[in-house]
Amino acid sequence: MNRSLQNTGGLMAAASLALLLTIPAVAFARYDDARLLTPSPKTVHVATPRTATSPTTTADAQLEADLAFMREEERLAHDVYTVLGEKWGTPIFSNIAVSEQRHTDTLAALMTRYSVSDPAKNEGAGVYAYPELQTLYDTLVAKGSVSATAALEVGKSIEEVDIADLDARITRTDETDVLAAFKNLRAGSVNHLRAFTNQLSGSAGRGNGTSGTGTRRGSGRQ
């Protein structure tokens, strides 16, 4: 009987410890952070941007192209929001820029896992490997520098493009971890789009929105 109780106690303790170890990764992570990647059947652990492990598989040409492009597109969003946030001083841009950094880190971790070369490896903010993204960045920064309202319109446009691009790529892969990441990124973009839309509605009610003052603080923290 004593030995049975000891065995039962040991199993309960082990189970409790396992539960405690999983709570911080799941219960306290915002779903739009995209920090949790569902493990691939070919891996034995959850990969995160901070603890990316050596590659366990390789990507086909389509997946390689999709990961690399989305990494640059998420980086573009971060860079545009950083510039516009500094110009207008509106919290929504700095808040969402933090989320976009997590998104691009998530994609970097996937690229490490799938042995995909990182096009952003030697590039600074505002510089991109894809000419179309470079043109888009320059255009959006110029447009968003006209007024605070125009900057919010830029944010809305970025998130709409991001959602459309993620939708297309979600249909092109059956890799479990990539699908989980893409869907997390999409959920974040939906939240960001809603935040920009709400801000624009508020700006319309206050006037032309040429000043960054009067913005609802905390809005856009997704």
Report, in angstroms and rounded to the nearest whole number, the Rg of the chain calculated over CA atoms.
Answer: 21
Taking only the tens place, the pLDDT of each residue in 186-216 is 999 999 999 999 999 986 555 544 444 333 3
Taking only the tens place, the pLDDT of each residue in 36-49 is 333 333 332 333 33
Lowest mean pLDDT among 3-7, 52-56, 149-153, 211-215: 211-215
Query: Cα separation of 98 and 221, whole Å?
Result: 9
Nearest to 104 by CA among 195, 27, 184, 219: 184
Cβ atoms of 88 and 148 closer than 8 Å: yes
* pLDDT score at 56: 58
Q: What is the helix (H) or strand (E) element at residue 162, kind and residue range? A: helix 148-170
Across the chain, mean pLDDT equals: 77
Taking only the tens place, the pLDDT of each residue in 101-148 is 999 999 999 999 999 999 888 889 999 999 999 999 999 999 999 999
